[in-house]
Amino acid sequence: MSALSGVGVGRGIAAAKVLKMPEPLAPPGDEPLAADADAELGRVRAALAEVADELTARAVAAGGDAQQVLEAAALMAQDPAILDDVQARLAAGTNAERATWDAYAGFRDLLAQMGGYMAERATDLDDVAQRVVARLRGVAAPGVPQSDQPFILVARDLAPADTATLDLEKTLALVTQDGGPTSHTAILARSKSLPAVVGVVGLLAAVADGQRAIVDAKAGTVVLDPDDASVAAAEAERASRTTAASAPITEGALADGTKVPLMANVGSPEDAPAAIALGAEGVGLFRTEFLFLGASSAPTVEAQTEAYTELLQGFAGKKVVARVLDAGADKPLAFLNDAHEENPALGLRGIRALRATEQILRDQLTALANAQRATGAELHVMAPMIADHEETAYFVALGRELGLTHVGAMAEVPSIAVLADQVLEAADFVSIGTNDLTQYTLAADRQLGSVAGFQDPWHPAVLRLIKLLGDAGAAAGKPVGVCGEAAADPALAVVLVGLGATSLSMSASALADVRAELLTVTLDEARARAARALTAKSAAEARQLASHPAG
């Protein structure tokens, strides 16, 4: 019996045999074209059509969010620009497999250079290319293995097209060698309530198909070849955790009765019913980008008012924290900022981009104020990427001018933590976005796999910045919430409360686990865990120190 360690996602546990994702196909060789170019083009055309049909059929069967992911992948297989590129390469004497591979690689590199959301689509292109080349070779495409029995899925990483159609009746847990706590796989695991451990160094070399394992997300471990007693204990704990997760929904609170409101992060009004059903006490992060992304011009005040009103009505009588448009960097919008920037993550994004095109910001704040008046909801509005008091004062003054009553700042830039006392002189509240705060604190692009190990909100540097914000909020008598992925980690949620967080917002599927974990500690115990984590010299040590009783 041996154990591997990584970053746990959630607090679930599972015991089963391992099934490994097949490794990607090897790149085609450079052999010159030996057949007729037109005939080979026909073969490629047929392969593209077959892959598109397969992905479309899977999309219809999957439904929901998975359907959208797979339909987008099907469109990538039908893109005429790809076929034109392949045709040109065939005419130049490249063999069909290599021509297809290189055509997709060219488009992939283009998307990867754009970063963020578009870079994620590059992963989808890789998946489509693999499927098409597999058709040309007459072999099965790499993908999630099929099984009649429940299994633990082990992979280098997972493509969206694979994760979108996971059979949750058979897939008990996910383990990946790559990725971090904010990776696609981690986010999927949280959304599906699947136990997962990501970023397991040496995983693929250490694990074999059919090997028995225990995945413990809470501990962040993968135990290989466990004995029967360990498996029985894991299965009993799994049953216990399932029972706890299905316990009656109550307000978020600690064991001593200290209230900690548990809110949901939502991306559109359609997300509201599911969040409420899972016990969300409000919305801690309403991402308003859904109205802007993909649009050729900014939506009208009327269109925005309608959408915001719909969401606020779904949370009548509850607190809703809306973030104004967060664009730039990984979410470029031509009508907001069309200037080319070598390093857009450190450029005109967030509040900076909105100030540069203030009418878009004014229209959005006007629409939010209209929705507030129409519903009587407790609407709080914040701006992204606030760096200091001056930016805070500007945004708060503009919000007040346009009729908003609760105006605050999102803490994602380290400078806002250093100047937290000044910021809270102007802001009504602060909400901490741990994803970007971690990225900027540790200079680690959260979309870049090579530095995924740095993208960990348990890092003591990040925790110390959060404490500065929590302390400043307590001194000013103003709320400081957390709305990043960190809040969905039950163990870290306890530490965040100990650092001064007054509310936590997360993916709705994580609410039950966090609610259960908070009920195991008092405020004094949460503060003690936080204090121990602050003394750590690494993220891993912070986890360890926070997980054990003092002494």
Q: What residues are labeled active site?
A: 184, 483
Torsion-angle region of 93 (φ positive above 0: left; ψ -120 to 50: alpha; else: beta): left
What sign has the CA pseudo-torsion 431, 273, 173, 24? Answer: negative
Q: Is-contact 389 395, C-beta < 8 A? A: no
Identify the residue whose tokens are 């105006």: 407
Identify the residue whose tokens are 């620009």: 81
Amino acid at 146: Q
Three-state secondary-structure class, residue 176? strand
Q: φ, ψ for residue 263 (rounded to 5)?
A: -115, 170
How far apart are alpha carbons 470 and 423 in whole angstroms?
Answer: 12
- What's the DSSP call for residue 259? B
CB-facing half-sphere around the CA of 467: CA atoms within 13 A: 19
| Contacts for 199 with CB less than 8 Å, ≥ 6 apart | 6, 7, 176, 177, 178, 179, 180, 452, 453
For residue 506, list its beta bridge partners: 264
Three-state secondary-structure class, residue 354? helix
For 310, the token pair is 């719909």
Helices 96-114 and 80-91, packing angle to 10 deg: 130
For 398, the token pair is 């503009």
Three-state secondary-structure class, residue 503? strand
Q: CA separation (Å) from 232 to 4, 51, 88, 154, 395?
A: 20, 43, 60, 22, 56
The closest alpha carbon to 365, from 377, 379, 378, belongs to 379
For residue 266, list its beta bridge partners: 286
How far apart are alpha carbons 280 and 453 in whole angstroms?
Answer: 31
Return the CA Rg of the chain. Answer: 24
Q: CA separation (Å) from 25 to 132, 156, 317, 515?
A: 11, 13, 54, 43
